[in-house]
């Protein structure tokens, strides 16, 4: 059973471009969480999704950021018109549909905005 997959592992964008980060949860997992880790900071919760539903987006910036988890395919975190302050490591975690205390983390995508 493969772990949580994220791609790309490293992404470089120029200011104003769009960044798309992908997360494939573990097999059988239908819950996905996105976290952001700014340099020298702890991980901060961004959004929690279930298949085709956003459950909690209280940590998402109000503008330029969006997330989806379609019925088929990976979860996507989309950042429009990136700025240098978006440079960070973005981690995805997944958990199974039944009660589970454990979130399984992917290796992260490191976004650098030039």
Geometric angle at alpha carbon 15, from 80 and 67, rounded to 5°? 20
Structure tokens at 31: 């819950």
Would you count residue 40 as binding other proteins (CB under 8 A)? yes
Which lies closer to other proteins via its Cβ, residue 55 or residue 114? Answer: 55
Question: Which one of residues 21, 35, 65, 94 is an interface residue with other proteins (CB under 8 A)?
Answer: 35
Question: Which one of residues 12, 55, 83, 114 is an interface residue with other proteins (CB under 8 A)?
Answer: 55
| Residue 94: partners with Cβ closer than 8 Å, 6 or more residues away | 4, 23, 25, 26, 29, 31, 32, 33, 103, 104, 106
The least CB distance from residue 16 to other proteins, in Å, is 27
The least CB distance from residue 81 to other proteins, in Å, is 26
Report the chain's C-alpha Rg in angstroms.
13
Binding site for other proteins (CB under 8 A): 4, 31, 33, 35, 40-45, 48, 55-56, 59, 91, 95, 99-108, 110
């Amino acid at each position: 059973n493969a772990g949580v997959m994220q791609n790309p592992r490293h992404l470089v964008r120029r200011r104003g471009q769009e960044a798309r980060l992908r997360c494939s949860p573990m097999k059988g997992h239908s819950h996905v969480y996105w976290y952001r880790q700014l340099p020298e900071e702890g991980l901060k919760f961004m959004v929690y999704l279930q298949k085709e539903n956003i459950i909690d987006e209280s940590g998402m910036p109000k503008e330029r950021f969006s997330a989806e988890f379609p019925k088929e395919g990976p979860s996507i975190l989309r950042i429009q018109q990136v700025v240098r302050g978006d440079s960070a490591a973005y981690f995805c975690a997944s958990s199974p549909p039944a009660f589970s205390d454990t979130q399984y983390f992917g290796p992260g995508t490191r976004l650098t905005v030039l």
